[in-house]
Copies of this chain bind each other. A is one copy, B any other.
Amino acid sequence: MVIYMGYSKQRESILQAVLASGLHPTADDVYVSLKPRDPNLSLGTVYRNLNYLESIGKIKKISLADHPDRFDGSLHEHQHMMCSGCGKVVDVDARFPGGAPHIQPPKGWIPEGYSLLFYGKCACCADQSDLRTP
């Protein structure tokens, strides 16, 4: 069942790849995972479709400083934590004891939202730091 218009085999499998992976794949992750089954697939197509799928709200893009963007098929409100070592991203659910972050917008500005990203070291990158600094 195709829910959106503008069908193509590639678009379908790119969406499925993001939904299936619980790992917030990068464009290249998606490309690499699909390439074996579809040897003609091109990276440009992956980028185009990921952006398209984001624009129609079927997936979300996670922009990360100094790491390639990642994509997320989970549309419910949640936050992410990124490993500052390897760039891996996991879901976390944040508690805001006093409500969501809020500011007094500067004069003349129209607030649109905020982005909140936690960062830290994942288990395996933490281990590596231990080894390097014994």
Q: Which residues of A contact B (CB under 8 A)?
A: 63, 65-66, 69, 79, 81, 83-84, 90, 92-99, 101-123, 126
Q: How many copies does the complex hold?
A: 2
Which residues of the partner chain B approach A108 to less than 8 Å between Cβ atoms?
A: 122-123, 126
Instruction: Give, as a whole number of angstroms, the nearest-CB distance from A116 to chain B.
Output: 5
Cβ contacts A to B, 5 pairs, < 8 Å: A63-B66, A81-B111, A108-B126, A110-B120, A113-B119
Q: Are B101 and A98 in contact (CB under 8 A)?
A: no
Q: How far is the CB of A23 from chain B (nearest CB, A)?
A: 13
Q: Check B94 against A97 for contact (C-beta < 8 Å).
A: no
The closest CB in chain B to the CB of A126 belongs to: B110
